[in-house]
C-alpha cells in the first residue's frame, strides 16, 4: 500500500547548516518527523553548496517518514552574491546600487533554469534581468 502524504512544507535553509533549533525545529517539530535525521540528511546533501541559501520542499508521510527536494537558490540571493552587495535598492528600479555583466546574468540564469518557467537560456535571462532591475542592479553589456 502506498504511503499517504500528510503535509508538504517549504523552507529556506542555509546549505549544510540545518539544526533542530528554530526555524527548522519549530516548523518540523509539530509534523512529528525525526529532526536530527532530517538535519543530517539535509546537511549531507548540501555540503557542496556551503554559503548558499537553498529552498527545500519536504514531503511528510503518515508513517512519519519524509522525502525532500532541493531547489536552486533564490534569484535575489544569487544576484546579491554576484553583485557583492548585502541588500537590493529600497527604491527598486529608480535606484542603482550595483552592476553585473551579461556574462554574470547568463551564469545566474543557467543556475536558475531548472526552477524557472522558461525553456531557453534567453528566456531565463529575461526573467533574472527583471528581478535584477527591481532590486536596483543594472546589467551592463
pLDDT digits (tens, 9 = 90+) for 55-103: 888 888 888 888 888 888 888 888 888 888 887 777 766 777 788 888 8
Task: Say yes or no: 58 and 37 in one domain.
Answer: yes
Task: Say yes or no: 94 and 133 in one domain.
Answer: yes
The number of angstroms, rounded, from the C-alpha of 120 to the middle of its chain's C-alpha atoms is 20
Strand partners, 140: 101
Task: Say yes or no: 66 and 80 in one domain.
Answer: no
Task: Say yes or no: 93 and 130 in one domain.
Answer: yes
Task: Say yes or no: 83 and 46 in one domain.
Answer: no
List the domain range (segments joined by +) for residue 30: 5-70
Task: Say yes or no: 90 and 65 in one domain.
Answer: no
**Which whole-number Å values give the CA distances from 10 to 24, 56, 81, 134, 139, in the listed order?**
11, 6, 23, 24, 31
What total of structural domains would you count in the chain? Answer: 2
Neighbours of 135 (CB within 10 A): 21
Task: Say yes or no: 51 and 18 in one domain.
Answer: yes
Task: Say yes or no: 30 and 61 in one domain.
Answer: yes
pLDDT in tens, 123-132: 888 888 888 8
CATH number at residue 112: 1.10.10.250
Q: Read off the pTM.
A: 0.75
Is 59:67 a contact under the CB 8 Å cutoff? yes
pLDDT in tens, 1-41: 567 878 888 888 888 787 887 778 888 878 878 888 888 88
Q: How confident is the model at residue 1, as a pLDDT?
A: 54
Task: Say yes or no: 53 and 83 in one domain.
Answer: no
Kindly state the percentage of the chain with pLDDT values over 70.
Answer: 97
CATH number at residue 56: 3.30.1550.10
Amino acid at each position: 500500500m502506498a504511503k499517504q502524504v500528510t503535509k508538504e512544507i517549504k523552507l529556506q535553509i542555509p546549505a549544510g547548516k540545518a539544526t533542530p533549533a528554530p526555524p527548522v525545529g519549530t516548523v518540523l517539530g509539530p509534523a512529528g518527523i525525526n529532526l536530527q535525521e532530517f538535519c543530517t540528511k539535509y546537511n549531507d546533501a548540501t555540503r557542496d553548496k556551503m554559503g548558499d541559501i537553498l529552498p527545500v520542499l519536504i514531503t511528510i508521510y503518515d508513517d512519519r517518514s519524509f522525502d525532500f527536494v532541493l531547489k536552486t537558490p533564490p534569484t535575489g540571493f544569487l544576484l546579491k552574491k554576484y553583485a557583492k552587495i548585502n541588500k537590493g535598492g529600497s527604491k527598486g528600479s529608480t535606484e542603482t546600487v550595483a552592476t553585473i555583466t551579461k556574462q554574470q546574468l547568463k551564469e545566474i540564469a543557467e543556475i536558475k533554469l531548472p526552477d524557472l518557467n522558461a525553456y531557453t537560456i534567453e528566456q531565463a535571462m529575461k526573467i533574472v534581468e527583471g528581478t535584477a532591475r527591481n532590486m536596483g542592479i543594472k546589467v551592463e553589456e
